[in-house]
Structure 1
Amino acid sequence: MAVEKSLRDHARDAIRDEVMKHAWSLFAEQGFEATTVEQVAASAGMSRRTFFRYFSGKDELVLERLVESGHRIADALRARPADEAAWPALRAAFQETVEVQERYADRSRPLQIMLREEPGVRSVVLERRRQWHAALCPLVAERLPSRGRTRRPDTRADAVTGSALACLEAAQEVWADHPGAQLGQLLDDAMGAVAPLS
């Protein structure tokens, strides 16, 4: 019985992933607001009714993909050498995201603009930032030097994590508006302006 449930879950995940791919292609072409659930469903070869068996709405399509990216960044940070300082480790952890966006720049740029400008996704972007921060902050805390026996609350991991995410977002925004720019270089510039990367 457990195997049957696992196979069913695997099939469900595959369908959800396929629908999300179609949705993000449409978002890149048309924007979030202009893309309807009916268009997403039709593009994925299903009815509107079937779509709602897998997703609660368009917001979930956006948030889930963004949260997945955050998990990959957290995994990359976890895999960095234990003795690497938090700031350069974060820059290295962002590299996969940078490479994916640069590889698919024709789709990634309009999506970055959509996430920045369309009111319909603002709450999703805020939730993405909250979830990424929550996933990365404990991993950053492990890389910070001990403060000894102080009882004062420690804000360092929150500050470092928030600063790194702000640098990534700043680099992505500039990159989206300047097709000739390299995202990796923009991120190096942004993070290097805050603290040394080596």
Structure 2
Amino acid sequence: MPNWLKKSFVVLISILTFGMISPQDLLAWNNQKSDNHDVIPDHIEVSSLPELSREQSAEQLISQAREITASKLGDRILPRIESDFESEVLPKIEEIIIDLLDTYPEEEIHDIAISPVIGKGDGERIFHIMDTKSNDEILYFHVRKDRPPLEGYSFNFHYHSIEDGFETHHELAEVYWGKDTPAKFGSEQIH
């Protein structure tokens, strides 16, 4: 296939799907379909999933929060601050998530989820927790690189709450990095 035709195909797919589906997604789907030799049905029946208990919901949110935060920090930052992160930051995130779920009735627990928009790049955002029923965000979990004069770099883990209009920084922990400049968030280890 000529190169100009491939490029035109990429642009056409991006325009038609508003960038929601990339050509790589289509290629992966096509490869998976050809590997399975299955016919995709015109519609899929969706059965309701069993609702999780308060403890299971908390475990699921905490597990997702741990994965997303580790991904945000990346392979170059996390190994260096991992012990402080595990001992100071994660227990507080767990406590806040459990406290949040305790404020909801049992039948509304399944409406609490981590927002699909995850923080990338050097911005503060790690993840937000939202009420999927009302589509309102409830908590923002952020991390910021600080550099007080003559002290070196540190990471300020904090959260914002809907209770005060997301104005106040509620500090989780301050984790010291060192005098050298930390890598960018999400940076991979160079082997």
Pair in the same fold by TM > 0.5: no
TM range (shorter): under 0.3
With normalisation by structure 1, the TM-score equals: 0.25
Structure with the higher fraction of residues in helix conformation: 1
| TM value normalised by structure 2 | 0.26
Could you say which structure has the greater relative contact order, defined with CA pairs below 8 angstroms and 6 or more residues apart?
A: 1
